[in-house]
Chain A
Amino acid sequence: MSSEFDITETLDVKGASCPMPVVKTKSAIDDLDVGEVLEVVATDSGSMSDIDGWASGTEGVELLDQTESDDVFKHYVRRTE
């Protein structure tokens, strides 16, 4: 993965299943400043679609990247507002 952004915080939601990855991502992003990037580390395979859907349906956040490796799903979300 090319790292064109700096990660400000990492949220570990490994083991948690729907709806917790999205819900905790929302709470964590609210604690960041505008422009900062949250890394979300999950093992819920549904989080790929869920975080994507949440980011497109939510104002003030931008999904920068999603990766999958060894059943670990990583999501990079920037706070834009």
Chain B
Amino acid sequence: MSTDTPDASADDAPTRAELAARVDELEAALDDDGQKKMSIIATKGTLDMAYPPLILASTAAAFGYEVTVFHTFWGLDILHEEKSGNLKLSSVGNPNMPVPNVVGALPGMDRVTTSMMEKKIDDNDTATIEELLETSLEMGVEFQACQMTIELMDYDEDDFYDGVTTGVGAATALQDMADADIQLLV
């Protein structure tokens, strides 16, 4: 049995013009429109974890990036008009917190640590979550709320800030990630 692959006959070989066309096509696919893109997946809804996606999204927009932030599971709360102003800091699970975990687990402790953090945010003139969201929206950041988790959490599409895109799913996020220069899961 011969395993030799016969050389392609001269008739099958692509012409120089065909090759040049294919190279152009591939280069065009690489180039896109030259627009830099960032895609962030935001999955967390605690006060501390709401900041990184919003800070990076607004900063990337300032750099001229086209930014999409896909919010899913607890990340939806960041876009939720009522909930976004009341995001909480967990008093357990982080050994750097000023109270030991065993104390942090007592009823009401999340409220205490959240107030402490909110006071620090206020004292430092750190932007609030709402300010960052509104600034990002003004700068053209696209915020997407995952449809599957909207339904899972019993939220309504009207619960979210104006300008938030609903009716999107994992395939939309995947497409954005595939097109993006920077992809982050927060």
Contact = CB atoms under 8 A, between A and B. Distances in A.
B55 interface: yes
B126 interface: yes
B125 interface: yes
Nearest to B138: A27
A27 B139 contact: yes
A16 B132 CA distance: 12
A59 B135 CA distance: 21
B62 A23 contact: yes
Interface string B115-146: 00000000011110000100100110000000
Contacts, number: 40
B59 A59 contact: no
A19 B59 contact: yes
- Contact residue range for chain A? 10 to 19
B62 A17 contact: no
Nearest to B34: A59
Nearest to B127: A20
Contact of B124 (A17, A22, A25, A59): A17
A26 B125 contact: no
Nearest to A60: B64
A26 B139 contact: yes
Central interface residue in A15, A19, A22, A57, by most chain B CB within 10 Å? A19
Contact of B55 (A15, A18, A27, A58): A18
Interface of A: 15-20, 22-23, 25-27, 54, 57-59
Given A23-B61, A27-B62, 17 more contacts: A15-B125, A16-B125, A17-B125, A17-B126, A18-B55, A19-B55, A19-B59, A22-B59, A23-B59, A23-B135, A26-B61, A27-B138, A27-B139, A57-B63, A58-B62, A58-B64, A59-B64
